[in-house]
Structure 1
């Protein structure tokens, strides 16, 4: 299948090149379109509504015309749908109502949440639905193309069509991993929990350090967080360290006391400044850190108990501290 779909960038064009249309010149769509173009497919059109998306399309897909979605579908062998999850279903159904989808056409979306069920109108029209989701965070810049090398894509398709989805991923430099249709939401939840919440945790830690006068908290945190992530990925829960895993309830209690006192100071400062900000957030966004610390400490305690790291009295003491 890879031989049919593409070859290495720089080789002479061969039979089997696809006309690719990209609907959504966001950070993902523009980058994947550029990767398919580098694999010698012809990107024939892209949608770009905002000024940022038009600039992104111009930088990553120079010379590719900006067209309406229906025009792109009409002129493409492969349609890449790189739009937000919440509009994907409506977009697919809307194009189906216009009779846009064509028999034999490849239609791939990049949503992590969905498999191919969301593309049922595509299937009903005789087109081939594919789901190819890169497990990567994107900037929308050319440097993302390098990140696709060895990037894992979660792919879902009807069994006879899986080789097509896998070949497209391989052509972009990625590694396909098959995700069952019924497990797509849990797959996406795992990635969001790991990636998005990692950013939140790092930001909270940096905020606390900045508040106590550390001028460049990122420099202090970077070696520690990188080592922790590397150890966790290499060794799993056996890499767990820190006061909870050691059963040090006194230290955890001191953390809770300090964070609670900090919140009280922020609350007082907010009242002195005229009350909470719109939406109920305190000045300085203070109250989320204590809540996050306690939630993650409770989860860590549960895992430490399951690993038999703690004596019963240590686990009980920590449970009392964490409420």
Structure 2
């Protein structure tokens, strides 16, 4: 298991997995997937659609194994060591906290072979987490898709136009970029030292947006709206589009106008209807006021009154 991959000799330091075909795509790879969850199964299917050979996968839960059977029906499910043995490119699609231990265990067991592309899909980590695999002769790639996954064929369509945050050693940038392009997405280079901040930005924007949306729907239900999604969808879609296009110039509403009385009323009503949402409203209103002031959307005198109201507002942890 420590020898060269199929098709490469021990004396050949440039394995065929890195060769480019005439149309500048990587040569077809034998792909293995360790972790056939939402991300792994979808990316495997995307690579198969691009013409690569998904030769083996490993999944623990019944759900992940079922997902693999749906998206990759011809892929055999085997033990991790066998996935590694068969693969010229292995995708380590496991949770962030499990990744360092998995990499160290694979390298320690001699499961990484020379010239094997070892890629993970964690946003938090760059290629440093793959150091043990690199020392064993692996070629490290960090390929993080900047999108949420359902683990269904819908995700394959969403990959078109999505971006990946990629990190790689200099000689491997073209390989990382080509793989992402083949999946229908756009590669964006992220420096190793910036991976944690990059991931924090995505989590703050996407994950907290889900919380915000659901808090808003809970409040509308409390206000008697039976289908809050129908009311919020066009408003939030327009707000998101405007924010992306115009930045802070897109700010509207009582905070941007400096309507301290309205904001105070909001806080009281939210605290009465959905108390656990009050703290996030106050925190976001403060941050919105700060940005609106800096952007010239809010007068200093109005901002002072507004921030006074928010300073006295009850948070979700207040008694």
Q: Any idea what SS the aligned residue of 1:115 has?
A: coil
Aligned partner of 1:95 in structure 2 is 106
Unaligned segments of structure 1, at least 5 residues? 9-13, 263-285
Give the drift of 1:3. 8.0
**TM-score, length of structure 1 as denominator length:** 0.88
Q: Any idea what SS the aligned residue of 1:29 has?
A: helix
Between the aligned partners of 1:7 and 1:37, the Cα distance in structure 2 is: 18
Is 1:58 the equivalent of 2:69?
yes
Between the aligned partners of 2:180 and 2:197, the Cα distance in structure 1 is: 21
| Partner residue of 1:242 out of 229, 253, 259 | 253
Aligned partner of 1:159 in structure 2 is 170
Aligned partner of 1:217 in structure 2 is 228
Give the drift of 1:67. 0.8
CA deviations over 1:73-126 (Å, ceiling 9, x no partner):
111100011100000000000011101111111001000111000000111011
Is 1:191 the equivalent of 2:205?
no
Unaligned segments of structure 2, at least 5 residues? 1-16, 312-319
Give the drift of 1:250. 1.1
Give the drift of 1:236. 1.1
Give the total of aligned pairs.
295
RMSD of aligned C-alpha atoms?
A: 1.8
Q: Any idea what SS the aligned residue of 2:20 has?
A: helix
| Partner residue of 1:203 out of 194, 214, 217 | 214
Q: Any idea what SS the aligned residue of 2:126 has?
A: coil
Give the drift of 1:137. 0.7
Is 1:308 the equivalent of 2:296?
yes
Between the aligned partners of 1:201 and 1:215, the Cα distance in structure 2 is: 18
Against the structure 1 CA distance between its residues 5 and 64, is the aligned structure 2 distance closer, same or farther, given a 3 Å change threshold?
farther
Aligned partner of 1:270 in structure 2 is none
CA deviations over 1:269-317 (Å, ceiling 9, x no partner):
xxxxxxxxxxxxxxxxx33210010000000011011112222221110
Aligned partner of 1:4 in structure 2 is 20
Aligned partner of 1:291 in structure 2 is 279
Is 1:68 the equivalent of 2:79?
yes
Against the structure 1 CA distance between its residues 216 and 7, is the aligned structure 2 distance closer, same or farther, given a 3 Å change threshold?
farther
Between the aligned partners of 1:301 and 1:18, the Cα distance in structure 2 is: 52
Contact 1:6 1:40 in 2 (8 A): no
Aligned partner of 2:186 in structure 1 is 175
Give the drift of 1:6. 9.2
- Structure 2 counterparts to residues 39-54 of structure 1, below 5 A: 39-54=50-65
| Partner residue of 1:116 out of 119, 123, 127 | 127
Is 1:146 the equivalent of 2:183?
no
Contact 1:7 1:171 in 2 (8 A): no
Aligned partner of 1:272 in structure 2 is none
CA deviations over 1:104-155 (Å, ceiling 9, x no partner):
1100100011100000011101110000001011110011111111210000
**TM-score, length of structure 2 as denominator length:** 0.89
Against the structure 1 CA distance between its residues 6 and 142, is the aligned structure 2 distance closer, same or farther, given a 3 Å change threshold?
farther
Is 1:136 the equivalent of 2:147?
yes
Between the aligned partners of 1:43 and 1:302, the Cα distance in structure 2 is: 50
Contact 2:26 2:179 in 1 (8 A): no
Contact 2:18 2:27 in 1 (8 A): no
Give the drift of 1:29. 0.3
